[in-house]
């Protein structure tokens, strides 16, 4: 069976958290002096109960049976009961016999009282023996009802002596023998003479003696019980008020004043107990007890730091549960589940207020107080509410084993440990022992798991293999990473116009095909414009959760812009998810800074992890001011991509790798790329089809079909998570945002753009295509002259020149050439070129000419230039 | 030696004395020795016996791991049979087929007063619906407790309904506690339903040349695993085990095995008998408790199959197993030799363990069964003599006809005779007495009172019984070992188990606590000097 499903068993009790009435009845009789009990029914009942009690108490448990057979069910059990009583008396010589009924006797309607009367009539010699009949059908309740029922019946049955005496009646719910001994000692130390019913202090926790006594010597004698009617007070130790309370019976019948006290467990209830003893006796509280209290209080403070982590499941008899809840609450342990198998609705009223207060203090939502429950339900709740400690009898051991949650054993039965009869809970010392056991269980669990827990929670999850929850959540919301699963919108801010590599499938006239769809030319924004755009879009679209920097060039080739944009937005919105896409060339340099900026998602386009293949894909890379081609270009790019990814993954960034499928070039190589990036720890790969671009080096390369791409994706899905394009998303979240011209328009209208932009500038632009700033300053043969006026970029004319540069070594000699150029461009405020030698740049600068180096569409470049003026 | 018996029974009234003296005998005094057994326990005497429900649900059905056993009745009976017996099982998966184990679970209809008054069938049905909705077992067993039979709930009709509704195996067991005189009635009821509803319904053929079922092995403390391991080492396939660590899906194939091996005769002999009648499967009373017994049992299996290669393999396995334990065994023997033991367990264990004790040179002075029949003491030859009484008659005894499809004869009469000449009895059990020394005492249905009295008189070094009398024995100053649950130890079966057993005894006898029993400030010795074994032997 699955261990943890929340399962609504109603008619099927799965793993009972209760026993039957006869169990309780015979336990009560074990506290009566020279008493043996006999169960009227099949012999299995007494055998089973003996077996369960003997295993708990490690003592002989003698319970006789009337051994009813099938014949008895037909003709009645009178003969068996009478013979049984006779045999029992002859062999064991009891002074008292408790005859408790069972399911069988009750179902066939045995009148035990009448049978006992008959027995006395027929056996006059046994009239001195008190035989007490108790009704305890197994279906009538649990051991809890059986126990109190038997006590009450004993009082009703024994002829009472109403003569006043100075004793105090003490009636308790089922306690361990050691706790009972404590209780007696306390009364003794205050000089209070008590009649304890029942006295379980010794019969079920015997001593090793020279000879074995068949009848245990302890217990309350019938003579003492008779005196209970004349006592000056009855103290009843139970948390619940019972209709059938034996103490109330004494009050109603004999006018013995009645007081109910909670079991003296925990500070408050022990205080109340000690105070009561002091009041009754008129004696001061002995110094020793005051010290015990101080010690318990001291321990409560010492262990609070562990206890505060306690999330407890408490189960057992109602009194046990109530008392344990109160002890836990006192010590800052949260009772998540308080459960009893007995049907007792009042339990909830008694403890709910206590529990609520703790809950409010600790901001915890759920707790459960339930009666009539089985262990299956308790186990489900334990798991659901994430408890870390179980408190109750040893039947909880299955949950302990299944869920690996420590069980503090108290109550009855304890079958898998020794010493159940010696466990203590009462008084300051008992409470201290109980609390220590609970605290130590919390500690032992912590001690054996905290290294792993801390490592996994704060180190491993956060940085290495697993994702921490925050990023995981962000990833779930991220449309670029989780496609359809996400309802979030994203915005791509085009603040990065320049690129530092040349892919053979790319023409820089268009947006970078590594990330965006080709064909849509995007307006390049300054960081400030981008921020304004973001704010406007955010105000319109609630679910805007992701800001991406994806081009139109490479985000890291424009790092200053990228950085500025992210900073502005981060200051404005702490929760936004940042993502960024790059070719990876500059990753090692900026990876840590990106993390510091709060970028949680990065996409790197890697088309090859083999330098030879890479050389076929990349025309050149510009790195550290130098241009590399062929294999050396591919090698630099690859090395930087991989080391950059390692840094990002190490810092917990979710990395996606885009791969462009190039038929005949890298299509067979793609699984190797996927394996490589999986080993590094990337989250997902996005294998994309190659789209032909006219004018690119690969314009004649045969494109791959979607079908072919999907075959590769499926193959790679065995290696790691794959991204499949989702039309719905594109049309919805991404599409709407990308094409929302009205928003862009609003920015202009609102005049949110810098004042400077309204001034007029003129620039000379080095361009070959006439669309892009794509020429080296020294190599261009013509300059395109553009004006900037009223926020608009206006083309003026082309001015031809002889190209300036023939190589570095000869530059110096052409001083006059520079003068010529300056003359041609004397009406310009600046020069815009893709590249320019550093030396020349300085000289132009010295001559008052602004030099702007960029790779962009001319319009954007001009606007950019204006920004930097 | 009747003196001892008289001393113990002396305190009984005339009526009880008359009853009990038939149950207590001294071996060798009768001609032949006759032990009254399987009669009603005496009320009030504090018998150690359990009830019919215990025998059915607790003993035979309980260990079947993949069946959900719903106890129909008030909560007590279900609670008391929850994990109390140490039958172990592993939920093994085979060929991707998931095998559930519900042994850690306890299912009850938890009948309340209203259910007793108005009937509990509806609740039982609903409980089954919930079990099917949530647990989805392949088999459900319904076990009745006392009130169910009295109020007339028809659990068999409900079982039939469940089979039709869900297409699963659902069987009712009318094992109300008051039936019969002990657990034994429950064994019989369980046996009947197993043969009627489960055995013969499977079709998984054995894959090996020789295959067996192990009957009456409940895998207490891992005994069943030890035995299965031994058989597998010899190349013998185990089709199913009744019922330790076993499953419904294995037991249904039991009829396809070549031979039945009977460990616990009492609890499962009905299945052995009926399988012989219905499928022609011979059964062999074996005993894997004790070193000599293991050897004999393995060799008898070899003889039955008559295969020279198999026999050679068995000899190899025996030699190897003995080799592994020899040194430890020799040491233990030297320490345990000459001790005396009393045993009071079950319907077969008291016999089996005497043989293991004999391996260590420990002599049995008292042995008794809780719920045996006369044949378990005297051998199956007495069965025709046993007159069925009212209690026996109340338990259904079924007769089966040869199965037209699966009945087959494995050995010819001639082959059987050859085996007989070699001392190998087929389909028979000679009982406990023949393995006991003259002068030893047999006590059937030993009760709490007699336990104390026998301890005083016989003073055995070790008393083997169960948890209910364990603490009386210990408080009387004797070593007690539980043979129902092995005191958390085991396995005790097989060669390896023998050594574990021996170590447990040595540990128990030499525990330092015994030496402190006599407090230094008391002058008279705590324990009276014990009788030497020879004095009454």
pLDDT tens string for chain B (537 positions)? 478 889 999 889 999 999 999 999 999 999 899 999 999 999 999 999 999 999 999 999 999 999 999 999 999 999 999 998 988 888 877 776 667 899 999 999 999 999 999 999 999 999 999 999 989 999 999 999 999 999 999 999 999 999 999 999 999 999 999 999 999 999 999 999 999 999 999 999 999 999 999 999 999 999 999 999 999 999 999 999 999 999 999 999 999 999 999 999 999 999 999 999 999 999 999 999 999 999 999 999 999 999 999 999 999 999 999 999 999 999 999 999 999 999 999 889 999 999 999 999 999 999 999 999 999 999 999 999 999 998 999 999 999 999 999 999 999 999 999 999 999 999 999 999 999 999 999 999 999 999 999 999 999 999 999 999 999 999 999 999 999 999 999 999 999 999 999 999 999 999 999 988 876 676 654 454 444 444 443
The Cα A282–Cα A190 span in angstroms is 9
Give this complex's ipTM: 0.94
Q: Looking at the structure, do residues B89 and B171 belong to the same domain, yes or no?
A: yes
Other beta carbons within 10 Å of A468: 16
pLDDT of residue B51: 96
Q: Looking at the structure, do residues B41 and B100 belong to the same domain, yes or no?
A: no
pLDDT of residue A451: 83
Range of the domain at B113: 52-177
Number of domains in chain B: 2
Domain boundary among B142, B177, B212: B177
Residue A510 pLDDT level (bands cut at 50, 70, 90):
low
Inter-residue contact A670 to A690 (CB < 8 Å): no
Give CA A391 to chain center in angstroms: 22
Does residue A269 surpass a pLDDT of 70? yes
Nearest CA in chain B to A51: B468
pLDDT of residue A521: 46
Is B409 inside any structural domain? no
Domain boundary among B131, B159, B177: B177
Residue A835 pLDDT level (bands cut at 50, 70, 90):
confident
* DSSP-based helix, strand, coil % in chain B, nearest 5: 45, 15, 40
Q: Looking at the structure, do residues B525 and B460 belong to the same domain, yes or no?
A: yes
Strands A761-766 and A830-833: parallel
Other beta carbons within 10 Å of A280: 18
The Cα B139–Cα B151 span in angstroms is 26
Q: Looking at the structure, do residues B462 and B489 belong to the same domain, yes or no?
A: yes
Which domains does chain A possess? 21-261 (3.40.50.1980), 304-446 (3.40.50.1980), 470-748 (3.20.20.70), 754-868 (3.30.420.130)
Q: Looking at the partner chain, which of A11, A84, A206 has a beta carbon nearest the beta carbon of B126?
A: A11
Over range A340-348, report the average pLDDT: 95
Is B450 inside any structural domain? yes
Q: Looking at the partner chain, which of A42, A48, A139 has a beta carbon nearest the beta carbon of B111?
A: A139
Residues of A in contact with B181 (CB under 8 A): 69
Residue A807 pLDDT level (bands cut at 50, 70, 90):
very low
Other beta carbons within 10 Å of A721: 14
SS3 of A592, please?
helix
Question: Which run of H or E residues covers position B308?
Answer: helix B308-336
Cβ of residue B179 closer than 8 Å to a chain A Cβ: yes
Q: Looking at the partner chain, which of B54, B81, B471 has a beta carbon nearest the beta carbon of A54?
A: B471
Is B489 inside any structural domain? yes
Cβ of residue B51 closer than 8 Å to a chain A Cβ: yes
CB contact under 8 A, B105 and A102: no
Does residue A466 surpass a pLDDT of 50? no
Inter-residue contact B47 to B62 (CB < 8 Å): no
Residue A476 pLDDT level (bands cut at 50, 70, 90):
low
* Sheet bearing B282-285, strands edge to edge: B237-243, B211-217, B259-262, B282-285
Is B171 inside any structural domain? yes
Q: What is the DSSP string of B26-59?
A: ETTSSSS-----S-PPPTTS-B----HHIIIIII
pLDDT of residue B524: 55
Q: Looking at the structure, do residues B72 and B168 belong to the same domain, yes or no?
A: yes
Work out the angle at residue A41's Cα, subtended by the Cα atoms of residues A83 and A130, and round it to the nearest 5 degrees: 55
Selecting among B23, B187, B349, B481, the annotated active-site residue is B187
The Cα A641–Cα A585 span in angstroms is 6
Tell me whether residue B526 is one of the annotated catalytic residues.
no
Tell me whether residue B373 is one of the annotated catalytic residues.
no
Q: Looking at the structure, do residues B43 and B125 belong to the same domain, yes or no?
A: no
Residue A446 pLDDT level (bands cut at 50, 70, 90):
confident
Q: A140 to each of A101, A172, A284, A375, B116, how far by Cα in Å?
A: 11, 21, 45, 20, 10
Nearest CA in chain B to A107: B147
Q: Categorise residue A234: left if φ over 0, alpha if ψ from -120 to 50, beta otherwise.
A: beta
Q: Looking at the partner chain, which of B44, B151, B182 has a beta carbon nearest the beta carbon of A85?
A: B44
Q: Tell me: the pLDDT tens digits for A575-607?
A: 788 888 888 899 988 988 888 888 888 889 999
Of chain A, the percentage scoring pLDDT greater than 90 comes to 48
The Cα B376–Cα B432 span in angstroms is 6
DSSP A772: B
Is B483 inside any structural domain? yes
Inter-residue contact B46 to B447 (CB < 8 Å): yes
CB contact under 8 A, B475 and A212: yes
Residues of B in contact with A46 (CB under 8 A): 46
Residue A54 pLDDT level (bands cut at 50, 70, 90):
very high
Closest C-alpha to A684, from A646, A727, A649, A654: A654
pLDDT of residue A578: 86
Residue A738 pLDDT level (bands cut at 50, 70, 90):
very low
For chain A, the average pLDDT equals: 85
| Burial class of A279 by CB neighbour count within 10 A (0 to 12, 13 to 18, 19+) | exposed
Selecting among B5, B72, B85, B86, the annotated active-site residue is B85
Is B273 inside any structural domain? no
Q: Looking at the structure, do residues B117 and B83 belong to the same domain, yes or no?
A: yes
Q: What is the DSSP string of A397-458?
A: HHHHHHHT--EEE-SS---SSS-GGG---SHHHHHHHHHHHHHHHHHHHHHHHHHHHHIIII
The Cα A61–Cα B475 span in angstroms is 12
Q: Looking at the structure, do residues B80 and B145 belong to the same domain, yes or no?
A: yes
The Cα A485–Cα A477 span in angstroms is 8
Choice between A266 and A567, residue whose per-residue pLDDT is larger: A266
Closest C-alpha to A44, from B142, B176, B63: B176
pLDDT of residue A482: 60
Tell me whether residue B187 is one of the annotated catalytic residues.
yes
Residues of B in contact with A377 (CB under 8 A): none
Q: Looking at the partner chain, which of A7, A107, A214 has a beta carbon nearest the beta carbon of B150?
A: A107
Is B222 inside any structural domain? no
Nearest chain B CA: its distance from A97 CA (Å)? 11
Cβ of residue B457 closer than 8 Å to a chain A Cβ: no
- Output the furthest CA–CA distance in chain A (Å, rounded): 145
Domain boundary among B177, B193, B219: B177
Strands B139-144 and A35-40: unpaired
pLDDT of residue A399: 96
Residue A492 pLDDT level (bands cut at 50, 70, 90):
confident
What CATH number corresponds to the domain at position B17?
A: 3.40.50.1980
Over range A279-296, report the average pLDDT: 96
Q: Looking at the structure, do residues B455 and B488 belong to the same domain, yes or no?
A: yes
Residues of B in contact with A214 (CB under 8 A): 452
Q: Looking at the structure, do residues B88 and B137 belong to the same domain, yes or no?
A: yes
User: Which of A574-583, A644-653, A752-761 is the least confident region?
Assistant: A752-761
Other beta carbons within 10 Å of B13: 13
Q: A703 to each of A583, A619, A706, A756, how far by Cα in Å?
A: 22, 19, 10, 46
Q: Looking at the structure, do residues B16 and B92 belong to the same domain, yes or no?
A: no
Q: Looking at the structure, do residues B43 and B158 belong to the same domain, yes or no?
A: no
Cβ of residue B145 closer than 8 Å to a chain A Cβ: yes
Cβ of residue A391 closer than 8 Å to a chain B Cβ: no
Q: A774 to each of A500, A524, A788, A796, A855, how far by Cα in Å?
A: 12, 16, 20, 18, 6
pLDDT of residue B283: 98
Q: Tell me: the pLDDT tens digits for A605-639?
A: 999 999 889 988 898 888 888 888 888 889 989 99
């Amino acid at each position: 069976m699955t261990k943890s499903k929340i399962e609504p068993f109603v008619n099927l009790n799965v793993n009972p958290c209760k026993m039957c009435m006869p169990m309780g009845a015979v336990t009560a009789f074990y506290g009566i002096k020279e008493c043996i009990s006999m169960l009227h029914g099949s012999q299995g009942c007494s055998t089973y109960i003996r077996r369960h009690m003997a295993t708990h108490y490690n003592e002989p448990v003698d319970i006789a049976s009337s051994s009813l057979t099938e014949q008895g069910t037909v003709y009645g059990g009178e003969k068996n009961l009478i013979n049984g009583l006779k045999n029992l008396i002859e062999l064991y010589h009891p002074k008292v016999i408790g005859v408790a009924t069972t399911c069988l006797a009750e179902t066939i309607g045995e009148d035990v009282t009448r049978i006992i009367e008959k027995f006395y009539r027929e056996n006059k010699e046994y009239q001195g023996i008190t035989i007490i009949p108790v009704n305890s059908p197994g279906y009538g309740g649990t051991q809890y009802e059986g126990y109190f029922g038997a006590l009450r019946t004993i009082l009703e049955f024994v002829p009472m002596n109403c003569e006043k005496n100075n004793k105090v009646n003490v009636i308790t719910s089922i306690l361990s023998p050691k706790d009972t001994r404590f209780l007696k000692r306390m009364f003794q130390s205050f000089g209070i003479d008590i009649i304890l019913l029942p006295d379980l202090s010794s019969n079920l926790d015997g001593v090793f003696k020279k000879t074995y006594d068949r009848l245990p010597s302890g217990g309350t004698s019938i003579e003492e019980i008779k005196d209970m009617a004349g006592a000056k007070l009855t103290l009843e130790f139970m948390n619940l008020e019972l209709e059938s309370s034996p103490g109330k019976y004494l009050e109603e019948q004999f006018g013995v004043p009645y007081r109910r006290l909670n079991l003296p467990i925990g500070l408050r209830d022990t205080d109340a107990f000690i105070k009561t003893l002091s009041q009754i006796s008129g004696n001061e509280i002995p110094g020793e007890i005051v010290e015990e209290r101080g010690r318990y209080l001291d321990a409560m403070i010492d262990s609070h730091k562990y206890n505060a982590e306690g999330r407890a499941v408490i189960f057992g008899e109602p009194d046990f549960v109530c008392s344990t809840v109160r002890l836990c609450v006192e010590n800052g342990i949260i009772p998540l589940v308080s459960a009893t198998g007995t049907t007792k609705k009042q339990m909830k009223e008694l403890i709910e207020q206590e529990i609520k207060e703790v809950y409010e203090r600790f901001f915890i939502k759920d707790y459960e107080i339930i009666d009539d429950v089985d262990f299956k339900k308790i186990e489900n709740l334990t798991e659901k509410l994430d408890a870390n400690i179980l408190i109750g009898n040893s039947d909880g051991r299955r949950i302990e084993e299944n869920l690996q949650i420590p069980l503090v054993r108290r109550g009855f039965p304890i079958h898998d440990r020794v010493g159940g009869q010696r466990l203590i809970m009462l008084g300051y010392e008992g409470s201290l022992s109980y609390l220590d056991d609970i605290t130590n269980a919390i500690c032992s669990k912590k001690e054996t798991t905290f290294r792993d827990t801390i490592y996994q929670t704060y180190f491993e999850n956060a940085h290495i293999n697993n994702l921490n929850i925050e990023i995981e959540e962000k990833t779930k919301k991220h449309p670029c990473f989780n496609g359809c699963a996400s309802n979030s919108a994203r915005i791509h801010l085009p603040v990065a116009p320049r690129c530092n590599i040349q892919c053979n499938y790319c023409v820089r006239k268009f947006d970078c095909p590594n990330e965006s769809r080709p064909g849509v030319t995007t307006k390049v924004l300054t960081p400030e414009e981008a921020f304004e755009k973001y704010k406007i879009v955010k105000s319109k679209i609630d679910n805007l959760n992701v800001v991406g920097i994806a081009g139109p060039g490479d985000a890291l080739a424009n790092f200053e812009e990228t950085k500025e944009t992210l900073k502005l937005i981060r200051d404005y919105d702490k929760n936004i998810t940042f993502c960024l896409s790059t070719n990876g060339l500059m990753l090692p340099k900026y990876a840590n800074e990106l993390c510091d900026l709060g970028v949680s998602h990065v996409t790197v386009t890697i088309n090859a992890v083999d330098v030879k293949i890479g050389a076929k894909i990349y025309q050149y890379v510009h790195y550290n001011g130098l241009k590399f081609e062929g294999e050396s270009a591919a090698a630099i790019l690859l090395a930087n991509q991989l080391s950059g990814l390692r840094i990002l993954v190490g810092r917990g960034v979710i990395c996606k790798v885009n791969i462009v499928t190039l038929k005949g070039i890298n299509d067979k190589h793609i699984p190797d790329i996927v394996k490589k990036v999986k080993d590094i720890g990337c989250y997902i790969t996005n294998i994309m089809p190659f789209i032909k671009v006219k004018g690119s080096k690969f314009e004649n390369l045969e494109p791959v079909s979607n079908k072919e791409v999907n075959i590769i994706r499926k193959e790679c899905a065995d290696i790691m998570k794959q991204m499949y394009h989702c039309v719905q998303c594109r049309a919805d979240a991404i599409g709407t945002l990308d094409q929302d011209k009205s928003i862009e328009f609003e920015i202009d209208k609102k005049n949110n753009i810098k004042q400077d932009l309204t001034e007029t500038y003129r620039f000379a632009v080095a361009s070959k295509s006439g669309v892009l700033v794509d020429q080296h300053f020294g190599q261009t043969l013509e300059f395109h002259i553009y004006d900037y006026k009223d926020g608009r970029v206006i083309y003026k004319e082309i001015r031809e020149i002889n190209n300036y540069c023939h190589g570095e070594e000869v530059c110096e000699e052409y001083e006059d050439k520079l003068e010529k150029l300056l003359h041609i461009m004397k009406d310009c405020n600046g020069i815009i070129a893709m590249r320019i030698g550093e030396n020349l740049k300085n000289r132009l600068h010295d001559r008052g000419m602004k030099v702007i180096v960029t790779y962009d569409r001319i319009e954007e470049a001009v606007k950019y230039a204006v920004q930097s003026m | 030696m009747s003196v001892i018996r008289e001393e113990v029974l002396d305190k009984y009234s005339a009526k009880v004395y008359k009853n009990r003296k038939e149950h207590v005998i001294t071996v060798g005094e009768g001609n032949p020795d006759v032990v009254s057994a399987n009669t009603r326990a005496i009320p009030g005497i504090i018998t150690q016996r359990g009830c019919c429900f215990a025998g059915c649900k607790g003993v035979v059905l309980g260990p079947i791991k993949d069946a959900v056993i719903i106890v129909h009745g008030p909560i007590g009976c279900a609670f008391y049979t929850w994990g109390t017996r140490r039958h172990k099982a592993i939920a093994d998966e085979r060929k991707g087929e998931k095998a559930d184990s519900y042994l850690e679970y306890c299912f009850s209809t938890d009948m309340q007063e209203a259910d007793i008054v108005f009937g509990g069938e509806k609740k039982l049905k609903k409980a089954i619906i919930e079990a099917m909705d949530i647990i989805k077992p392949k088999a459900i067993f319904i076990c009745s407790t006392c009130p169910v039979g009295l109020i007339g709930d028809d659990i068999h009709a409900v079982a039939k309904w469940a089979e039709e509704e869900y297409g699963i195996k659902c069987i009712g067991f009318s094992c109300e506690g008051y039936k019969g005189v002990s657990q034994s009635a429950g064994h019989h009821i369980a046996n009947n339903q197993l043969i009627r509803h489960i055995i013969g319904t499977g079709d998984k053929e054995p894959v090996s040349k020789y295959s067996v079922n192990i009957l009456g092995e409940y895998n207490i403390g891992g005994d069943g695993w030890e035995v299965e391991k031994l058989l597998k080492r010899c190349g013998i396939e185990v089709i199913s085990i009744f019922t330790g660590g076993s499953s419904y899906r294995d037991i249904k194939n039991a009829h396809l095995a070549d031979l039945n091996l009977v460990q616990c005769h009492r609890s499962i002999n009905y299945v052995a008998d009926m399988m012989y009648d219905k499928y022609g499967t011979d059964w062999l009373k074996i005993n894997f408790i004790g070193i000599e017994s293991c050897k004999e049992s393995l060799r008898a299996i070899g003889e039955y199959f008559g295969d020279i290669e198999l026999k050679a393999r068995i000899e190899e396995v025996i030699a190897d197993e003995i080799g592994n334990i020899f040194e430890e065994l020799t040491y233990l023997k030297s320490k345990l030799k000459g001790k005396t033991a009393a045993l009071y367990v079950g319907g077969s264990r008291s016999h089996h363990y005497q043989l293991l004790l004999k391996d260590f040179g420990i002599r049995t002075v008292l042995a008794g069964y809780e719920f045996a029949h006369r044949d378990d003491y005297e051998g199956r030859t007495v069965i025709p003599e046993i007159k069925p009484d009212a209690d026996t008659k109340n338990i259904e005894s079924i007769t089966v006809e040869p199965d037209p499809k699966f009945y087959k004869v494995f050995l010819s009469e001639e082959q059987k005779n050859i085996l007989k000449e070699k001392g190998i009895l087929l389909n028979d059990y000679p009982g406990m007495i023949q393995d006991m020394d003259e002068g030893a005492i047999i006590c059937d249905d030993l009760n709490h009172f007699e336990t104390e009295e026998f301890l005083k008189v016989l003073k055995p070094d070790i008393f083997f019984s169960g948890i209910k009398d364990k603490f009386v024995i210990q408080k009387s100053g004797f070593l007690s070992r539980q043979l129902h649950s092995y005191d958390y130890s085991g396995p005790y079966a097989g060669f390896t188990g023998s050594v574990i057993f021996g170590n447990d005894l040595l540990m128990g006898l030499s525990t330092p606590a015994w030496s402190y029993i006599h407090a230094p400030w008391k002058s008279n010795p705590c324990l009276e000097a014990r009788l030497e074994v020879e004095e009454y032997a």
